[in-house]
Structure 1
Amino acid sequence: MENITSNQNGRVKAWQKLQTKKGRQANQTYLLDGWHLVQEAIHHDGHLHAIMGTSAQLAEHQEELPLGVPVFEITTDIAKKLSDLVTPQGIFAEVSLPTAKREPQYVHQGAWLFLDGIQDPGNVGTMVRTADAAGFAGVVFGEGSVDPYSPKAVRAMQGSQFHLTITDGDLLKWTNTFRDNEINVYGTQLDPTAADLFSVQPQATFALVMGNEGQGMRPELAAATSQNLFIPLSGEAESLNVAVAAGIAMFALKQR
């Protein structure tokens, strides 16, 4: 185990770069911040490159650290450099970005969430975690959606990225391919032609599209779906946060 005490150490500088999308793409890795996320990667075959922790954190979790993964002891000051939290827990892991990319023509079952231009990392992470909880097979990030491996999104996912498929792609292509394969694709839209979400029979295999926080789905995508749906509101609020709406829709549509 190597002990790193300087903020100027080359490894520390390389890990810091993983806080940016450019750095993650260049290295094809990202950071997990906190023991729960590190543990999820260990238990679900995340490809770990390194584990970094303060002496206290490494001692606390010593028995669960996997063999063959380089371990680095770092100072509390370095932990603060690697985290965007005010008081980080003090343990991290560097893991590989997923390399496998799914294509829609090979999907024949399961529930899928399509994200069309979702820009808030907290919303993205919450929706991935909720898709996991609802038993979805995967999440497809369309054009304009935020990087799901940014620090805030990774914290919000809470390890769910290890439980389901995450990929990116052309959502119009995914929608048309699903429909060609007789798989329903439901959009979410406040529109007179949309149907009440709760009028739709729950299904095992389908896709749900969630649109941008401010603009909703792109018009060409909304026109391509099997049916667009709305959530009936009883109170005076005009709309719901997109992650909340996605959670309601996923659990309402997913057959148990």
Structure 2
Amino acid sequence: MKTIESTKNERVKAWKKLHTKKGREQTGSFLIEGDHLVDEALAASVVIETIITTRKEYVATFSGSIYYVTQAVMAELSMTETPPGIIAVCQKRIMKQPTSLDGVYVLLDGVQDPGNVGTIIRTALALHASGVILGKGTVDLYNDKVIRSTQGALFHLPIYTGDLHQWVEMFKEEAVPVIGTALTNASPINRGQTYPAFALLVGNEGEGVQPSLLAQTTENVYIPINHDSESLNVGIATGILLFSLQG
């Protein structure tokens, strides 16, 4: 185990760059914090390059580098109010397009809040989705708040990025219905109508799904809510729809 005591250490500076999207894209790596996420990553066989810890007694069935650091270094690297005892540097997963789209997928169009994206990924895993697709304008999957909000679900569910217009067309080519979400020119969700496979398209917290995408869908729906309620959080709405639409 190697030791780093200074926050000015060049390796610490390099790790800090992984808090930026540019830094993550340049290296193909990202940071996770805390025992739970590290345990989930190890259980999912995520490639962990380095473990950084304040615990000299830390032992793991892990073949990469382990660095012991001071509390000051840990605080420098952590994005949480109470720095954890462990941080890991992981390699990004490279996801190939699935050979079949015969499943349940969630498409995110411009969802910008990290907590919402993390909640949707966690919910999609819990409700047996086959994958999540992050479209243009959606927050980066490896944003630290997204990672924490997933509670490790991102390690157990295929997550793709790309042009949603192209993805919608691919679903339609395989006769998989694409269900858009909208407040106008849409029908209330039919609780009796379920699908063995479908793609659910949800949109930006303020503006919703792009009109050009809604024009491509099989149908567009909304959730009837109390007239005194302005709207539903996109993460909660996604959970309701995923549960309601599955056959």
TM-score range, shorter chain: over 0.9
Counterpart pick for 2:67 among 68, 72, 94 = 72
Distance in 2, Cα, partners of 1:246 & 1:199: 15
Figure out how many residues of one structure are paired with residues of the other and give that number: 247
Distance in 1, Cα, partners of 2:156 & 2:194: 22
Matches within 5 A, 1:75-224: 75-102=70-97, 106-191=99-184, 193-199=185-191, 201-224=193-216
Query: Residues 133 and 159 from structure 1, CA distance in 2 versus in 1: closer, same or farther, beyond 3 angstroms?
Result: same
Q: Deviations over 1:62-114 (max 9, x none)?
A: 2xx123121111111111111111111221111011122326xx323210000
Aligned-residue identity in percent: 41
Shift of 1:200: 5.1
For 2:40, the equivalent position in structure 1 comes to 40
For 1:227, the equivalent position in structure 2 comes to 219
* SS of match in other structure, 1:18: helix
**Cα contact 1:101–1:168 (8 A) shared by 2:** no
Distance in 2, Cα, partners of 1:85 & 1:69: 24
Q: Deviations over 1:37-68 (max 9, x none)?
A: 0001100010110111112xx53x52xx1231
* SS of match in other structure, 2:136: coil
Distance in 2, Cα, partners of 1:66 & 1:124: 31
* SS of match in other structure, 1:113: strand
* SS of match in other structure, 1:122: helix
Consecutive unaligned residues in structure 2, runs of 5 or more: none
Question: Which AA in structure 2 matches 1:20?
Answer: T
Q: Deviations over 1:162-203 (max 9, x none)?
A: 111111011111111111211011011111x31222435222
* SS of match in other structure, 2:121: helix
For 1:245, the equivalent position in structure 2 comes to 237
Consecutive unaligned residues in structure 1, runs of 5 or more: none
